[in-house]
A = this chain, B = another copy of it.
Amino acid sequence: MIYKYVFGQPIETQAVVMEVPKSEHELSVMKVEVQEDAIRLSCQMGDEDVVFGLGEQVRGMNKRGFSYISNATDDPRHTENKHSLYGAHNFLILNRAEKTKDESGNRTFGIFVDDPGTVIFDVGETRMEDLVITAGADCVIYVIEGESLKDIVKQFRKLIGRSYIAPKWAFGYQQSRWSYMTEDEVREVVDGHRKNGIPLDAVYLDIDYMERYKDFTVNQETFPNFKEFTSEMKEQSIHLVPIIDAGVKIEEGYPVYEEGIRENYFCKDEDGEDFVAAVWPGKVHFPDVLNSKARAWFGEKYRFLMEQGIDGFWNDMNEPAIFYSEKNLKKVLEELEGMKGKNLDLNAFFHMTDLVAKLSNNPLDYQSFYHDMDGVRIRHDRVHNLYGFNMTRAASEAFDQIEPEKRTLLFSRSSYIGMHRYGGIWTGDNNAWWGQLLLSIQQMPALNMCGILYTGSDIGGFGSDTTEDLLMRWLEFAMFTPLMRNHAAMGTRHQEVYQFEHMDVFRNLIRMRYGLLPYIYSEYMKAVLNDEMYFRPLAFDYPEDEQAYRVEDQLLVGESIMIAPVYTQNAKGRYVYLPEDMLMVRMKSLEERVCEVVERGHYYMDMALDEVVIFVRKNYMLPLAVLDEDVRSTSDVNEDQLEWIGYTEDVAEYVLYNDDGTSRKYTPESEWEKIRLTKEEFDF
Residues of A within 8 A of B (CB): 50, 59-60, 62, 64-66, 77, 79-81, 124-125, 127-128, 212-213, 278-283, 323-324, 329-330, 333-334, 336-337, 339-341, 343-346, 348-349, 352-353, 356-357, 359-360, 431-435, 463-465, 467-470, 501-502, 547, 550, 552, 568-573, 575, 577, 602-604
Contact B330 A340 (CB under 8 A): yes
Contact A550 B572 (CB under 8 A): yes
Contact B604 A604 (CB under 8 A): no
State the CA gap A283–B341 with chains docked (Å).
12
- Take A278-B344, A357-B353 as given contacts and tell me if A81 and B569 are in contact as well, using a CB distance cutoff of 8 Å: no
Contact B79 A79 (CB under 8 A): yes
Contact A329 B345 (CB under 8 A): no
Residues of the B chain whose Cβ atoms lie less than 8 Å from the Cβ of A341: 330
State the CA gap A550–B346 with chains docked (Å).
44
For this complex, 6 residue pairs linking A to B, each with C-beta atoms less than 8 Å apart, are A59-B569, A60-B568, A79-B79, A80-B435, A334-B340, A357-B357
State the CA gap A81–B547 with chains docked (Å).
34
**In whole Å, how far is A632's beta carbon from the nearest beta carbon of chain B?**
28
Contact A344 B79 (CB under 8 A): no
Taking each of A345, A359, A604, which has the highest tally of chain B beta carbons within 10 Å of its own beta carbon? Answer: A345
Tell me which of B333, B343, B575 contacts A283 (CB under 8 A). B343
**In whole Å, how far is A52's beta carbon from the nearest beta carbon of chain B?**
12
Contact A465 B356 (CB under 8 A): no
Tell me which of B124, B333, B469, B602 contacts A128 (CB under 8 A). B469
Contact A79 B602 (CB under 8 A): no
**In whole Å, how far is A605's beta carbon from the nearest beta carbon of chain B?**
10
Closest 4 A-B residue pairs measured CB to CB? A81-B464, A282-B345, A282-B343, A80-B433
Residues of the B chain whose Cβ atoms lie less than 8 Å from the Cβ of A552: 568, 570-571
Contact A65 B280 (CB under 8 A): no
When C-beta atoms are compared, the residue in chain B nearest to A546 turns out to be B572
Contact B79 A431 (CB under 8 A): yes
Residues of the B chain whose Cβ atoms lie less than 8 Å from the Cβ of A323: 344, 346, 349
Q: Count the copies.
A: 2
Residues of the B chain whose Cβ atoms lie less than 8 Å from the Cβ of A360: 353
State the CA gap A77–B552 with chains docked (Å).
25
State the CA gap A362–B575 with chains docked (Å).
44
Tell me which of B81, B343, B359, B434 contacts A80 (CB under 8 A). B434
State the CA gap A550–B127 with chains docked (Å).
37
When C-beta atoms are compared, the residue in chain B nearest to A464 turns out to be B81
**In whole Å, how far is A504's beta carbon from the nearest beta carbon of chain B?**
14
Contact A344 B435 (CB under 8 A): no
Contact B77 A79 (CB under 8 A): yes
State the CA gap A340–B348 with chains docked (Å).
21
Contact A282 B433 (CB under 8 A): no
Residues of the B chain whose Cβ atoms lie less than 8 Å from the Cβ of A333: 336-337, 339-340
**In whole Å, how far is A617's beta carbon from the nearest beta carbon of chain B?**
21
**In whole Å, how far is A6's beta carbon from the nearest beta carbon of chain B?**
33
Residues of the B chain whose Cβ atoms lie less than 8 Å from the Cβ of A80: 431-435, 464
**In whole Å, how far is A215's beta carbon from the nearest beta carbon of chain B?**
15
When C-beta atoms are compared, the residue in chain B nearest to A283 turns out to be B343
Contact A65 B570 (CB under 8 A): yes
State the CA gap A128–B213 with chains docked (Å).
38
State the CA gap A128–B470 with chains docked (Å).
11
**In whole Å, how far is A316's beta carbon from the nearest beta carbon of chain B?**
13
Residues of the B chain whose Cβ atoms lie less than 8 Å from the Cβ of A344: 278, 282, 323-324, 329
**In whole Å, how far is A212's beta carbon from the nearest beta carbon of chain B?**
8
When C-beta atoms are compared, the residue in chain B nearest to A349 turns out to be B323
Residues of the B chain whose Cβ atoms lie less than 8 Å from the Cβ of A60: 568-570
State the CA gap A573–B549 with chains docked (Å).
12
Residues of the B chain whose Cβ atoms lie less than 8 Å from the Cβ of A463: 81
State the CA gap A336–B464 with chains docked (Å).
27
State the CA gap A573–B568 with chains docked (Å).
19
**In whole Å, how far is A590's beta carbon from the nearest beta carbon of chain B?**
23
When C-beta atoms are compared, the residue in chain B nearest to A360 turns out to be B353
State the CA gap A32–B32 with chains docked (Å).
71
Contact A345 B550 (CB under 8 A): no
When C-beta atoms are compared, the residue in chain B nearest to A51 turns out to be B570
Contact B348 A282 (CB under 8 A): yes
Contact A345 B281 (CB under 8 A): yes
Contact A349 B330 (CB under 8 A): no
State the CA gap A58–B66 with chains docked (Å).
24
Taking each of A77, A279, A282, A602, which has the highest tally of chain B beta carbons within 10 Å of its own beta carbon? Answer: A282
Contact A433 B568 (CB under 8 A): no
Residues of the B chain whose Cβ atoms lie less than 8 Å from the Cβ of A336: 333, 336-337
**In whole Å, how far is A509's beta carbon from the nearest beta carbon of chain B?**
15
Residues of the B chain whose Cβ atoms lie less than 8 Å from the Cβ of A433: 79-81
Contact B569 A468 (CB under 8 A): no
Contact A468 B128 (CB under 8 A): yes
Residues of the B chain whose Cβ atoms lie less than 8 Å from the Cβ of A348: 282
State the CA gap A592–B434 with chains docked (Å).
38
